[in-house]
Structure 1
Amino acid sequence: MSTVYLVGAGPGDPGLLTLRGRELIEQADVLIYDYLANKEFLSFARPDCEIIYVGKKGGDHTLPQDDINTLLVDKALEEEGRMIVRLKGGDPYVFGRGAEEAEELVEAGIAFEVVPGVTSAVAAPAYAGIPVTHRRFASSVSFITGHEDPTKEGSAINWGALAASGSTLVFFMGVKNLPTIAAKLMEHGMRPDMPCALVHWGTTCRQRSFVSTLDSVAEEAVALGFKAPSLIIVGEVCSLKETLDWHELKPLLGLGVVVTRSREQASELTSKLRELGACCHEFPTIEISPLPDDAPVREAIAKLPGYDWLVFTSVNGVEGFWDVLDDMGLDARAIGRAKVAAIGPATATALCSRGVRPDLVPGQYVAESVVEAMLREGMNGKKVLIPRAMVAREVLPDELAKAGAEVTVLPVYETKLADEDPSDLLAALEKGEIHFVTFTSSSTVQNFFTRITPEVFAPYREQVKLVCIGPVTAKTLEKLGFTPDVVAGEYTIPGLVEALVASIT
C-alpha cells in the first residue's frame, strides 16, 4: 500500500523545516506542495520525483481543496508502495486543513502519517520580537481563524470571551477582515489602545511588521500596504517588539542578491547572505564536471615523487585531484616530498581536510601573489605540478616557467556554461526584487552575461549593484562594459560578503 505523509513545511525560514520533513521529501515519489511551502524544499526531492503545485492563496486557488483531497487519494491508489508527501505551510493541523485531507484518506482506506511543523502562529511573532506569552502580560494564547468557513450558518468565534480573556490573540488569514476583527473586539469590551501587530511573510527575508493600537491598526495596514500572508497579533505582548526585535535588524533584510556560483559551491555564499537577511536568488552560471578521461591525472599521480611543488588554485582543483587519488587507492602520503601551495584559505582548508597542510598560502589570493611568493622560494630547475581547470588563466604557469621551473599543467576538471533558465531571474529584475549580483570568478561574469546579455541587463543597471570577489573578476566585468560597484578587499567569500554589507551601511 502507498502511504501519504502530511508534512508541515514550517513558516518559511528554510532552517525551520523539521529533520523528519526533509527526510521524507528526499524519499518522496510524489511531492504535492502549496503556496506557503518554501519552494527551496523542492531541491531536496529526487530527480525522478513527480512534483505537483496545488497553491492556495486568498481568492486564488490553483486547485480547490476538494480536488486536492481527490488528488491525494488518486496518487496513492495509482501505484502500490509509493511515498506521497503533501507539503503544507506551517503545521498541517493548525488552520492547514490537514485534518480534512486525513479524513479523506481514512475514508479511502489509505495509510497516512502526520509530521507536525513549526506553526507561523508562534514563529512569526517570535521573529518580529513578540513573544506570544509573557509572565507580565499574558499567561495564555489563542489561535483564531480570521476567515471562517463561508458555508457555516454562524460564526464559531466567541468575541466576548476573546475580548475578556487576557490572552494573546493570534489571527490567521485575517488581513481582509481586519476592520471587522478590530471592531468586534472593541464592541465586546477590549480597549481601543490595546497593542496590535501585523507580521507579513514572517520568518522569511521578506518579513515586515509593525505595531499599532486596535482602533488604528486597520487603517495603518492599508497605508503600509500589508496584504496576505500576514498574521495579526493582539495583546500587551506586542509592546515588547521594540525591545526584543532581532530579525528585522539584519542588514540585508529584504534585499535580493543573485548568487552566480555553481550549484555545488553556492551554499557557502548563500548561507552567509541569508544569515544577514538577504533574499538569495541562485542562478548558477557554471557547471563543474569531471574530465571524460582521467588517464592523464593517473599518470601524473604515478609520477608525484618526481615533483618539487604541487600548486592548487581552487577547491575544485583539490577535489578533482583527490577524487582520482582516492580511486587509485592512495591518500596524502602519495604527495611524498613535494611542497604544496594553495591560492587562498578556502583551498587551504580543502587540503587540510585531506590531511595536507599547505607550505605556502600567499597574502593575496590571486595567481600573481602565488607567483610572487613561490619566486622567493627559488624556482629554477624545480618541477611544478598545477592541478586545475581545463581552461584557466595562464599567469601562474607562464611566470613560473619564466623563472626556470619545469611546469606541468594538469587539468582535473572542466567548467561549462550552466544550462539555467533565466526567466525567473528576469521576472525578479522586472519586479525590482534584485539589488545585487555577485561574481566570484571571471567565468561567472562571462557566463552570466551569456545567459542574460549586456543589452538585456542594461535597463536594470541603475537598480542593481555588481559585486566582485577581487580585481581579476572586476577587470573581466569592465571588459563587458560594466563598472563594478563593489570589489572585495579580501578575495574570499567572507570578504565579498563583508564588502557587500559595507556598501549599504
Structure 2
Amino acid sequence: MGKVYLVGAGLGGREGLTVRALQVLRQAEAVWIDELVDERLLVELPGQAQLWRRSGESSVQEGVLWLIQRCHEDKQVVHLKSGDPLIFGRTREEVEALTKAGCPFEILPGLSSALAGPLWAGIPLTDQHLSRTVAVLTAHELEALPWSALAQLDTLVILMGSRQRQAIAAQLVDAGIPTQRPVALIWGAGQAEQQVWVGELGELLQGKELSPSRKNPLPALLVIGEVVKLRQLVLPGIPPLPEPAPLAGKTVLVTRSEGQSEAFRQLLQAQGARILEMPTLVIQPPDSWDPLDRAIASLAQVDWLLLTSANAVSHFFARLHHHKQDSRALRGLKVAVVGSKTAATLAQYGIHPDLVPPEFVADALLEVWPQPVAGQRILFPRVQSGGRDVLVQGLRQRGAEVEEVAAYESTCPPAADAQVVAALKTGQVDILSFASSKTVQHFARLLQQAGLGPEVWDPPVQIAAIGPKTAETCVAVLGRVDIEAKEYTLEGLVEAMVSTFQSRPEPPTRR
C-alpha cells in the first residue's frame, strides 16, 4: 500500500536528519522537494525516485494532489520540508487532504531553523539571567501580530525576517523596546555559506543595508534579545559548519530541456551548487514521421547509422519500436556516435557503437571514419531544424550517400520562467550553463521577450559552455564565454566550473 511521509529536512545535510527520516528518504519512490531544502540531501534518494518541485506557476494544492496521486499508485511518497513540518509548514492542510483521500501518512520531525539556527550562530535562546521567555513567529502578516505583548518577552525569533526587518523594528520600537536592543540576522543557518550580522534594533529601524553578498540568496533568521550579546562567549563550542563544497554558495542556471536536466542537476548538487532551472528547449516529434519511417523500412540497404545526440537515439528507437522492431533490425550495419552520453543511451538498447571519435564533437568523426567512404549509405536521424553541416558535407565530398531524416524537433519555450527572470533581475545567479548552441540562442530570445538584456550576464556572472561549438555561440550571442569544458560532457562542464572557482575561493564566514 502507498504511504505519504511528511518529513522535516532540518537545516542541512544528513547530519541534521533523524534516523527514521534518513531511512524513509532512502526508500522513497516519489519525493516533493520544498524550495528551501538543502540540495545535499538529494544524494540520499534512490536513483529511480520520481522528483517534483513546485514551479512559479504551481500551487500548494497541486503539490498535495501530486502526493495523493502517487500514494494511490502504491508508492512510498515523501514531502521533504525544510526545518520541521509543524512549524509554519502548512501541514494541517496536507493532513486534512490526505485523510479525506484515504492516504496513510506519517509526520517525521526535523530541526527547525527557529531553534537550531541561533545555535549554529552561537546564540543561546534562553539564559538564566537574560532570557526566560522565547517566542517564535514569522514575518508574514505583520499587522496581525500582538506587538505590545511580544515587546514584553525576552527573546524573539522571526523566520523570514530579513526583508521586513525595518517594519518589524518600527513595530517593536513603537511597542516600547529600546533601539539599543541587540539583534542578529543569520543567513543560511547551519550551512557552509552561513553569514551572521550582529547589531542593534535601531540600525534595522534606520533601514541600514545589511544584506549578505549576492552569493548567499538564502532567507534570513532574525533574533532580537539580550542573549545576542552572548554570541562570542558560546561560539567556540558550537558544532562546526559543514565543509564548503567547491560550488557552495553558487547558483547555477541550468538551461537544458525539461526532463533532461536531472543528471546535470545531481552533478552540480554534489559540488554544493544551488540550481535554478529554465528549460530553453522543448523536445517534440518532427512535423512528419514519413521520412524516418521510410528510412526504417529500408535499413537493410544502410551501411552506417550515425547518431550524434541522446535525443536522436531515444527517438529513433521509439519509432523503431512503433513499427514492432527492436535492435535486431540493425543487424549487419555499423553504428557511429558522438559523445559518451550518446553511447550510454545507445547501450540501453543493447548496442555498442562501432565508431566513437576521441573528441565529443561531430566534426571529429571525419578524422576517424574508416576508409573507404565512397559508395556507403549513411542514415543520419537528427533534429528537424538541423545544425552544423561540416560532417555531412565532408562525408558527401568523399563519396558517401548521407540520408538526413528528422527524428525529433527542439523548439523554444513560449516564455521564460517568472521565478528565474526575477532571480536574474536581482543578481541571484552566478553561473549560466549551456550544453548546446540552441540553448544559448533560445536563452537570449527568452530574455529579450522578458525585457532583459546583457546586464543580466555582466560580470561577475560566469558563462559556461560544454564545448567549443557552444562556446563560439556564447561569444556570438552573449559576447563572451568564461568557462569551457575540456571534456565535452556534463561531467566535464561541472569539472570546469569547479576548477574555475577553486582557483579563486571565497571562503564563507560566520561573522
Q: Could you state the TM-score of these two structures normalised by the residue count of structure 2? A: 0.65
**Separation in 2, partners of 1:204, 1:381:** 62
Report the Cα offset of residue 446 of structure 1: 0.9
Cα offset for 1:363? Answer: 0.8
Match of 2:111 among 99, 102, 120: 120
Taking a change above 3 Å as real, the CA distance of residues 343 and 125 of structure 1, as seen in their structure-2 partners, is farther
User: Residue 373 of structure 1: which of 363, 368, 384 is its match?
Assistant: 368
- Output the CA distance in 2 between the equivalents of 1:100 and 1:267: 30
Kindly provide the amino acid, as one letter, of the partner of residue 341 in structure 2: A
Do the aligned partners of 2:282 and 2:410 also contact (CA within 8 Å) in 1?
Answer: yes
C-alpha distance in 2 between matches for 1:404 and 1:110: 66
Task: Tell me how far 1:319 sits from its aligned partner.
Answer: 0.5
- Equivalent in the alignment of 1:278: 273
Structure 1 unaligned regions, length at least 5:
27-32, 55-71, 77-84, 131-143, 160-170, 178-196
- Tell me what 2:389 maps to: 394
* Aligned residue number for residue 499 of structure 2: 502
Q: Hey, what does 1:473 align to over in structure 2?
A: 470
1:333-348 to structure 2, matched below 5 A, reads 333-348=328-343
Report the residue type matching 2:452 in the other structure: V
Alignment map for 1:246-325 (pairs within 5 Å): 246-247=242-243, 249-325=244-320
How far does residue 113 in structure 1 lie from its aligned partner after superposition? 5.7
Task: Give the Å deviation of 1:265.
Answer: 1.4
Unaligned runs of 5+ in 2: 43-48, 69-77, 122-133, 139-143, 169-183, 213-217, 504-511
CA contact 2:136–2:158 (8 Å) conserved in 1: yes
What is the aligned partner in structure 1 of residue 452 from structure 2?
456
Provide the C-alpha distance between the structure 2 equivalents of 1:419 and 1:12, rounded to a whole number of angstroms.
36
* Of 287-296 and 301-310, the range deviating more from structure 2: 287-296
For residue 24 of structure 1, report the CA deviation from its aligned partner.
7.9
Q: Give, in angstroms, the shift of residue 366 of structure 1.
A: 0.9
Displacement after TM superposition at 1:224 (Å)? 7.4
> Where does residue 507 of structure 2 map in the other structure?
none
Pair 1:90 & 2:98 matched? no
Highest relative contact order (Cα 8 Å, sep 6+), 1 or 2? 2
Greater shift in the superposed pair: 286-295 or 6-15: 6-15
Q: Are the counterparts in 1 of residues 466 and 488 from structure 2 also a CA contact under 8 Å?
A: yes
| Identity of matched residues, % | 29
Q: Is the partner of 1:119 in helix, strand or coil?
A: coil
Cα distance, 1:403 vs structure 2: 0.9
Distance of aligned partners of 1:257 and 1:340 in 2 relative to their CA distance in 1, 3 Å threshold = same
CA gap 1:305/1:228 in 2 versus in 1, 3 angstroms: closer
Report the residue type matching 1:410 in the other structure. Answer: V
Shift of 1:307: 1.2
Tell me how far 1:257 sits from its aligned partner: 1.2
Mapped partners of 2:395, 2:137: distance in 1: 72
Per the TM alignment, residue 427 of structure 1 is displaced from its structure 2 partner at its CA by: 1.9
Amino acid at match of 2:433: T
Q: Is residue 113–residue 189 contact of structure 2 (8 Å, CA) maintained in 1?
A: no
Residue pairs, 1:99-138, within 5 angstroms: 114-117=105-108, 119-121=110-112
Match 1:382 to one of 362, 376, 382 = 376
Distance 1:314 1:109 in 2: 46
Provide the residue aligned with 2:178 in structure 1.
none
**Which moves more between the two structures, 478-487 or 385-394?**
478-487
Q: Please give the alpha-carbon distance, in whole angstroms, between the structure 2 residues aligned to 1:105 and 1:478.
A: 51
Q: CA deviation at 1:330?
A: 1.5
Bigger shift: residues 487-496 or 294-303: 294-303
Structure 1: how far apart are the matches of 2:299 and 2:38? 48
The answer as to whether partners of 1:21 and 1:115 remain within 8 angstroms in 2 is no
Q: Distance in 1 between matches of 2:94 and 2:54?
A: 24
What residue in structure 2 maps to residue 329 of structure 1? 324
In structure 2, what is the Cα distance between the partners aligned to 1:315 and 1:462?
33
Q: Residue type of the partner of 2:257?
A: S
RMSD: 5.2
Shift of 1:295: 2.8
Work out the CA distance in 1 between the residues paired with 2:120 and 2:81.
25
Amino acid corresponding to residue 51 of structure 1 in structure 2: S
Quickly say closer, same or farther: Cα 1:327–1:112, change in 2 above 3 A. closer
1:66-104 alpha-carbon deviations (Å, 9 max, x no partner): xxxxxx9xxx9xxxxxxxx998643334675757997x9
Call closer, same or farther: CA 1:231–1:308 in 2, change over 3 Å: farther
Which letter does structure 2 place at the counterpart of 1:116?
A: I
Hey, what does 2:6 align to over in structure 1? Answer: 7
SS in 2 for 1:503: helix
Query: What is the CA–CA distance in structure 2 between the aligned matches of 1:479 and 1:174, rounded to whole Å?
Result: 41
Q: Which residue of 1 aligns with 2:408?
A: 413
Which position in structure 1 is the counterpart of 2:141? none
| Other-structure match for 2:438 | 443
**Matched residue SS, 1:379:** coil
In the alignment, what sits opposite 2:420? 425
Q: Deviations over 1:268-297 (max 9, x none)?
A: 212211221212111111100012432322
d(CA) in 1 for partners of 2:93 and 2:377? 71
Equivalent pair of 1:289/1:413 in contact (CA under 8 Å): yes
Give the match for residue 52 of structure 2.
44
CA distance in structure 2 between the aligned counterparts of 1:99 and 1:298, rounded to whole angstroms: 54
1:208 is aligned to 194
